[in-house]
Chains A and B, each alone.
Chain A
Amino acid sequence: MSTVVALLEANSLVTAFVVVALILAASNWLATRIFRGQVHGSAIAITVGLLLAYWGGLVGGGSKGLADISFFSGLGVLGGAMFRDFAIVATAFGAELDALKRAGWVGAMSVVLGVILSFVVGAVVAVGFGFTDAVSISTIGAGAATYIVGPVTGTALGADSGVVALSVAAGLVKAILVMVATPLVAKRIGLDNPQSALIYGGLMGTTSGVAAGLAATDPKLVPYGAMTATFYTGVGCLLAPSLLYLAVLYLQQLF
């Protein structure tokens, strides 16, 4: 038994692949069987990941969640900044410039406006909760954009790991809420045609939230929303650690 554990620890990254696959498999099973498609499997999996990180933090006593337990140390590599950024860049591959041009200026504007709106809301809430340093405020604001923009911004600005976790949690709350609430509010917000779907994807930005939210509303609208949402994380990663962070710094000097 101890040999097996030692081998799994020696091949930690490979072990991490199995662990994540098992988490996703269990989450997708829960999504279809228990939640009956109401919640996206990936959202459940991320929640499970955060819960495991909480448990790992209690047991391991470190700052890297589950990755502090040597058996799970591969998660630290797989979920580290290098692979995360690599995968984010890869998601841009699905986006076509021509399709975005067809989306028109409203689609492009909704992405930029969506990032700024969510960032401002998140930043204001962070200030309301007593955060005073520009790095933490920007990271939480970025997390209110998506749970990718938050950690990317936090890593770029050198934010505390706890603040990064907060930004991921805020992005997760957003993603789950978008999945659950979209079919409920679709009629009220006029989400019934390709153009409003493009705007919706741009404003919400959370790819899994948008894909699941539109699938639950009208599957025909999925590609339009996903198109603008694909650009959201990129625009967020571009704006949040640069212009928006500088804006926070500037406002901080005023008050």
Chain B
Amino acid sequence: MVIYGVGLLAACMLVGVILGDLLGQLIGVQANVGGVGIAMLLLIWVTNASRFKVLLEPPTSSGINFWSAMYIPIVIAMAAKQNVVAAVSSGWLAVIAGVAAVAVSFAMIPLLARLGRSADE
């Protein structure tokens, strides 16, 4: 059933968020520490565990796939609710940060590729 997939996804997120909150309290940060990341690792682990394979027949998995496909639309809605007016007053920051991040990342690709090749040999 589709709801099994949605429920599994929801359970993973809730457990992740709870663990993230506990982790935050543990290290004394007033924040949820990596709850979403933990939830993702949990979902990958659960969906790859053989004992849960029964749960992931097509109708069930479509409950997860739907929300995965809703990711871009949700990001668009998220963009539409941002405080852009406040951000625009320091507009160059975003451009410079974005361009610099891409330039540095592009430059690293040949370096890492060489490392990977020498490791293979």
Binding site for B on A (CB under 8 A): 16-17, 19-21, 23-24, 42, 45-54, 56-58, 63-67, 72, 75-76, 78-80, 83-98, 104-106, 109-110, 113-114, 117-118, 121-122, 125-126, 129, 140, 143-145, 147-148, 151-152, 156-158, 160-166, 168-174, 177-178, 181, 185, 189-191, 195-196, 199-200, 203-204, 208, 234-239, 241-242, 245-246
Among A113, A191, A203, A234, which residue has its beta carbon within 8 angstroms of that of B41?
A234
Binding site for A on B (CB under 8 A): 9-10, 12-13, 16-17, 20, 23, 27, 29-41, 43-45, 47-48, 61, 64-68, 70-88, 90-102, 104-110, 112-113, 115-117, 119-120
Question: Complex formed: what's the CA distance from A108 to B114 in Å?
Answer: 15
Q: Which residues of A contact B81 (CB under 8 A)?
A: 53, 64-67, 75-76, 79-80
Q: Is the beta-carbon distance between B98 and A190 smaller than 8 angstroms? A: no
Q: Is the beta-carbon distance between A86 and B98 smaller than 8 angstroms? A: no
A-B CB contact pairs (8 Å), 12 listed: A20-B73, A42-B72, A50-B80, A51-B84, A83-B74, A85-B13, A114-B108, A144-B101, A161-B86, A171-B98, A200-B109, A238-B34
A-B pairs with lowest CB-CB distance, top 5: A173-B98, A238-B37, A162-B86, A79-B77, A49-B79
The winner among B9, B17, B113 for most chain A CB atoms within 10 A is: B113
Taking chain B's interface residues, is the majority helix, strand, or loop, or is none over half, making it mixed? helix
Q: How far is the CB of B79 from chain A (nearest CB, A)?
A: 3
Q: Is the beta-carbon distance between A50 and B84 smaller than 8 angstroms? A: yes
